[in-house]
Amino acid sequence: MRSTDFTHVEGDKVKMVDVGAKEEVARFARASGVIHLTAQTMGLIKEGNVKKGNVLATARIAAIQAAKHTWETIPLCHQIPITGIDVEFEVGETTIKAVAEVRSVGKTGVEMEALCAASNALLTIWDMVKAVEKDETGNYPETRITDIVVEKKTKAKQ
């Protein structure tokens, strides 16, 4: 197949790629992203004083749920057997980096699951702190999510 051949959507024809003939292998993906917040908000998170509760614990649960349900939210993604998910946070002065690692043994990769996990963790952090991030007009001039990337992807025969 040439790289210019479409595998999922061509014109009005849509299909999910058949991975049935592929070999099952161990798969891993790590994705990350960063949320930028005010120093005041970061202080509340570090002190555990956000009114909605534990921000990072909630974001970790959201990330795990997102990875498990990727196939329901991204059209044409396969439902895959996830064997493990780890979510960690790197907390800085005005940023939090979410890092999601997803593992599976299957016929297709887990990078979309890792990306969904990292993204949803960051969105959940935003939701947990939006009351203190808003300015007087109800906007978020300093809040932003950036640098969502797949850091690593591997597959290996068992």
Average pLDDT on 44-60 reads 97
CA distances to 39, 41, 136 from 80, rounded to whole Å, are: 39, 37, 45
CA distances to 38, 66, 146 from 45, rounded to whole Å, are: 11, 22, 19
Active site residue 5: no
Task: Identify the residue whose tokens are 């970061």.
Answer: 42
- With 0-12 / 13-18 / 19 or more C-beta atoms within 10 angstroms meaning exposed / middle / buried, residue 136 is exposed
Which candidate in 12, 127, 135, 147 is catalytic? 127
Tokens in use for 142? 């300093």
Distance from C-alpha of 41 to C-alpha of 19, rounded to nearest angstrom: 45
Q: Which long-range contacts (CB under 8 A, 24 or more apart) does 5-9 make?
A: 8/76, 9/76
Tokens in use for 126? 């935003």
| Angle in degrees, CA 10, 69, 26, rounded to 5 | 85
Domains of the chain, by residue range, sit at 24-156
The per-residue pLDDT for 1 is: 45
CATH of domain 24-156: 3.30.70.640
Whole-prediction pTM value? 0.91
Task: Identify the residue whose tokens are 């949320």.
Answer: 35
Tens digit of pLDDT for each residue in 10-27? 778 887 888 888 889 999
Average pLDDT on 24-50 reads 97
Tens digit of pLDDT for each residue in 84-143? 999 999 999 999 999 999 999 998 889 999 999 999 999 999 999 999 999 999 999 999
Tens digit of pLDDT for each residue in 54-77? 999 999 999 999 999 999 999 889
Residue among 48, 32, 40 at smallest CA distance from 122? 32
SS3 116: helix
